Amino acid sequence: MLLRVFRRYPMEIILVGMYIFLVFSAPGFATVDNQLNVLRNVTMQGIIAFGMTMIIISGEIDLSIGSGVAFSGCVTAWVTRELSPMLGPYPAIALGAVAAMTLLFFIGVMTGKLRQHFNMPSFITTLGLLTVLSGAANLITGGFPITSFPYEFNFLGSGFLFGIPFPVYIFVAVFGIVYFLMNFTSFGRAIYAVGGNLEAARLSGIDVWRTKTLALGITGIFTAIAGVLIASQILSGSASAARGWELDVISAVIIGGTSLFGGKGAVRGTLIGVLFLGVIVNGMTLLNVSEYWQLVVRGMLIIAAVLMNHALDRQTQK
């Protein structure tokens, strides 16, 4: 009975066990303020991770999201600076955010089209885009942060609503949207089918490239939303924001049980993976663990999660 429960909910059980350990060993871990801090810290990467789950299940990957976050923040800041004298700051911010989401959506679509028409792996395309978007962000800002936002804009990324960080509401909303898409729509079923067996999905009438392209585009929108939230937190558009996020986001998705080979995974598992990384980073910080050791531990966790999920899959197939 216990073994069957562990096979079904391995990361949930490990997360609960780690949480109990930190409650008794890490000073201040169990306080309400610290728990809210953990939630706030995982929201931005979590928003992107939910979209990345769709991409990886469909059999693709996006390595450009860190640069995409910085780029979207810089676009929003630049549009705000240019249009504020004519429209006022808040309409300018709204237009900047829409521009960032539109640009990253079409960049995601472009990645899908290159995959479809030129068979260019998304790994290669997005690896190139990582550099392109980083360079574009620096061109927009001139190498210096654009500080064009009014102070009140900080509420979006750092404010509280009914005692809960405002970004958490966006995080929950995005989770709900992706959960609904993946579990209750034909689009979600198509993502699983395409990632599991592309040719079989095509023969069954699924537009496989439209499915992959749409998943990449939607994740581009989520990346832009995270970029706007980061820009709100630091009250500027900075080309150096979110460096290395792609590895953290992919780590959360893998730890949550999504297969890098496609066809298997769940957004609920990604939620657990996001919380798992947030809790362990927070706990190690409170325990004064060296930042270098934190990187070692996080890397080992990724390897361990892949091995454990592989072992559980083999047990299930027996």
Per-run averaged pLDDT (10 residues), the chain, 318 residues:
72 87 90 92 95 96 95 96 93 96 97 94 95 95 92 93 94 97 96 93 93 97 97 94 90 89 91 92 90 85 78 66
Q: What six digits make up the tokens of 280?
A: 């362990």
The label of the residue with tokens 């072992």 reads 311
Q: Residue 70: which residues within 8 A CB-CB, separation 6 or more?
A: 133, 134, 137, 227, 238, 239, 240, 241, 242, 243
Task: State the pLDDT at residue 317.
Answer: 59
Q: How far is CA 235 from the centre of its chain?
A: 21
Task: State the pLDDT at residue 58.
Answer: 96
Domains of the chain: total: 1
Q: What six digits make up the tokens of 312?
A: 């559980």
The backbone torsions φ and ψ at residue 164, rounded to the nearest 5 degrees and listed phi first, read -115, 135
C-beta separation of 157 from 94 below 8 A: no
Q: What six digits make up the tokens of 221?
A: 């929108």
CATH number for position 23: 1.10.3470
The label of the residue with tokens 């472009």 reads 110
Identify the burial level of 38 via C-beta atoms within 10 angstroms of its C-beta, where 0-12 means exposed, 13-18 middle and 19 or more buried: middle
Cα distances from 271 to residues 36, 115, 141, 147, 301, in angstroms, run 16, 28, 34, 33, 16
DSSP at 62: -
> What distance in Å separates the CA atoms of residue 201 and residue 213, rounded to the nearest whole number?
15
Task: State the pLDDT at residue 315.
Answer: 67
Task: State the pLDDT at residue 2.
Answer: 66
The label of the residue with tokens 């709900």 reads 176
Task: State the pLDDT at residue 260.
Answer: 85
- pTM across the whole model: 0.94
Domain extent for 85: 2-317
> What distance in Å separates the CA atoms of residue 124 and residue 225, rounded to the nearest whole number?
24
Task: State the pLDDT at residue 190.
Answer: 96
C-beta separation of 245 from 65 below 8 A: yes
CA-wise closest residue to 76 among 228, 218, 235: 228
CA-wise closest residue to 157 among 273, 69, 31: 69
The backbone torsions φ and ψ at residue 205, rounded to the nearest 5 degrees and listed phi first, read 100, 5
